[in-house]
Every structure is written in C-alpha cells, then in structure tokens.
Amino acid sequence: MVSELFARFQALPDTLTATPILAIALTLGAFFAGNWLFSRIGRPLWLPPVVLSACLLSGVIAVLAIDYQAYQQGARWLTVLLGPATVALGIPLYQQMHHIRAMWRPIVVTLPIAATMAAVYAVVIGWALGATPEVLASLAPKSVTAPIAIGITEQLGGSVPLMMGGLLITGVVATLFVDLLARLLPVKDERILGFALGLNGHAIGTARAFEISHTAGAFASLGMGLTGVFTALILPLVFRL
Amino acid sequence: MPMLRGFLVLVLFYILGESLRLLLALPVSGGVLGMVLITFTQMVKGSVSEDLAQASQGLIAVLVLLIMPGVVGVFFTANQFSGQWLAVAVALLAGTFLSVLTTLLLMKALTARGVSDGE
C-alpha cells in the first residue's frame, strides 16, 4: 500500500512534465521565491534576484529529477514571450525620446567603440589564456541580448549553452561593475548608467536599470538594442578576418 | 482587456519584425526589428495608447522571469567545457570590467563636453 503510493509519487514528475504546466509553475514559483529571498536578505547588489531564482529553480529541477530538456520544452510557453517583450522595450524608448535626442552625440560615438571592445576584450583575454576557437566564438557575443546572441554564435560556430552561461555571468557582473564604478568614478547621471547597463549587461542589465528609474531603463533598452544590432552586423565580418 | 489589446499589438510587431528578418535574411533578431519598428511608429503617431503602455510595462516587469529558463541551462551543460573554465571566467570578468569602464569613461567625457555646448 505504502510502496504503491511511493511508486505513484515517483512517477509524478514524469506525468506532470507531459504538459508545460509544471515547468510554468516551477519557473513562476522560483521567480517569486527569488524576489522574496532577495528582499529578505537586504537587496544585496552582488546577488541579483535572477541568480537567486535560477539557483532555486535548478535545485528543484535536480531534486525532482525532472529531465532538463523536458523542462525547457515546457518553459517555451514563457520564453516565447521574450520576442514580444523585446518589442515592448520600444515603448519606454519612445517615451524617453526627448532625453535620448539631447544625448545623441555621445551615444553615437560611444556605441561602436564600446560594443566592439566588449567583444574584443573577452576574445583577446580568452585567446591569451588558451581558449579554443569554439569557446572564443561563444564568448564574443557575451554582451548581446539572448535572441540575437544565439544567431551570432551559430553563425560563428560557437556553443549556444556556453554562450548562454557567458551571457548570464556577463549580465550579472556588468550590473555589479556599473554600480561599483558609478561610485568610484563617480558617475551619477542615470542616463549614462542606464546606457552602460544595457550596452554591457543586455536584458539583465536592462532589468536592473528599470529598478533605478524609468529614464535609466529607457537608456538601457537603447543601449541593448543598438549593441545587439551593431554586434550582429559587425562580428561575423570581423571574425572572418 | 486593455492589456491584452496592447499585447496583441506587441505580438503583431514581433511577427512583422520576424517576417522582415526572414524575407531580407537579416542577421538581427525579429524582436529587435519589431522594437525599432514600434518606436518609429510611435514617433510618427506622436503618442502611445494606454493599452500599449500597460502591456509593455507588464512585460518589462517580468523580463527576468522570461530569461530564467535559459539561465538554468548553464547548470545542466556546465561539464562540456571543463579545462577551459579559467580562460572563460577571466575573459568574462576582466573583459566585462574593462568594457563597463570604457563605456562609462567615454560617456562621461563626451557628455561633460556636451553640457558646455548647451545640449
């Protein structure tokens, strides 16, 4: 009787992962738990909610022995919204257009240099430390928002999972470094901070920028969008050389 | 309801961007093309509808939720590149530090000069 119940309990994850609903529940649950934990431990800058949530979620997936591919399949109901969410970034961009117009000159000069250097620094350091071409191709688009970066990595012959890992780490440390350097340099202009967050830290930096202010968020959207477009156009050309 | 109406507009712009990408074989994602298109459309129109503002705010607020499934993948594919971890870690940490520094210094220097031009 008890063993029968236990066997049925063991089969539960497999049965439930047959539909996307478990993956959605787990992701949503981890998202709220991560946010709750984040505010409970005093909102530390070095440990953003996305890392807390991701660790909780990975833990639960591992403990329940859910197949990662099956989870990913179910979670597509959420990740598919990343497309419309990227489009949605155009709205704060438009609403803050007067700020952006006032700063178009520094933006036009900074963007090509900073976006190129974001890739160059990583590739040169990785190359100097003996990383293989496949790894270098996965590191190059590290500051580009996920949907574009996937396309770039495939084009360059890199590994998509490694690139996604690099993307996450870059997003988190870019957020930390922007906060740190903003105090050291010092830079107080929310527009500059937002732009740096979006340019270097893609969607994770942009999410952080929206915590600072609406204006910072708009500049982050701009930085992320421009970096994505610029890198997608330039990187495949540079890598061929 | 208003939020769903706004969501429909976002989805349509995404489809438009994605179609453009496929038709013209562009290396840029459909989402970014959609973002550019919707920004220009609002600029031509001169205003944002309440529906669209609500829907975009709602989606942006859960941006982190939408990246999470991809992020989790790191933990499950980590073994593939053992041996190169040092190179990867240093490249990401030092590289990002340098590129953030570059961006902030450039923007700071350029805007300081811009202010004297009287914006």
* B66 and B9 in a common domain: yes
SS3 category, A113: helix
Q: Do B76 and A50 make contact, defined as CB atoms within 8 angstroms?
A: no
* Closest in B72, B107, B108 to A61, CB measured: B72
Q: Do A106 and B38 make contact, defined as CB atoms within 8 angstroms?
A: no
pLDDT, tens digit (0-9, with 9 covering 90-100), for A114-152? 999 999 999 999 999 988 888 888 889 888 887 778 778
Distance from CA of B2 to the nearest CA of A (A): 15
* Closest in B66, B68, B84 to A57, CB measured: B68
On whether residue B33 sits in a domain, the answer given is: yes
Output the average pLDDT for chain B: 85
The answer, for B96 touching chain A at a CB cutoff of 8 Å, is yes
Cβ-based contacts of B106 with chain A (< 8 Å):
106, 109-110, 113-114
Q: How many domains does chain B have?
A: 2
Distance from CA of B22 to the nearest CA of A (A): 13
pLDDT interval class at B65 (50, 70, 90): confident
Q: Is the pLDDT assigned to residue B118 strictly greater than 80? A: no
Residue tagged 């740096």 (tokens): A196
* B110 and B70 in a common domain: no
On whether residue B119 sits in a domain, the answer given is: no
Give me the residues of B, 21-80, that contact A with CB < 8 A. Answer: 27-32, 34-39, 42-43, 48, 52-53, 55-57, 59-78, 80
What is the distance between the alpha carbons of residues A166 and A97, in angstroms, rounded to a whole number?
A: 31
The answer, for B84 touching chain A at a CB cutoff of 8 Å, is yes
SS3 category, B62: coil
Examine residue A186 and say whether the peptide bond preceding it is cis (omega within 30 degrees of 0).
yes
Distance from CA of A216 to the nearest CA of B (A): 13
Could you tell me if A154 and B108 are in contact, meaning their C-beta atoms sit under 8 angstroms apart?
no
* B73 and B19 in a common domain: yes
* B12 and B70 in a common domain: yes
Distance of CA A143 to the CA centre of its chain: 9
* B62 and B30 in a common domain: yes
Distance from CA of A239 to the nearest CA of B (A): 14
Could you tell me if B73 and A167 are in contact, meaning their C-beta atoms sit under 8 angstroms apart?
no
* B104 and B48 in a common domain: no
* B7 and B25 in a common domain: yes
Residue B52: domain span: 2-82
* B66 and B54 in a common domain: yes
Tokens of A1: 């009787």
pLDDT, tens digit (0-9, with 9 covering 90-100), for A176-225? 999 999 999 888 899 999 999 999 998 889 888 988 898 899 899 889 88
Where would I find the H helices in chain A? 2-16, 21-40, 49-63, 68-79, 82-88, 90-95, 97-102, 104-128, 133-139, 146-156, 160-184, 190-212, 214-240
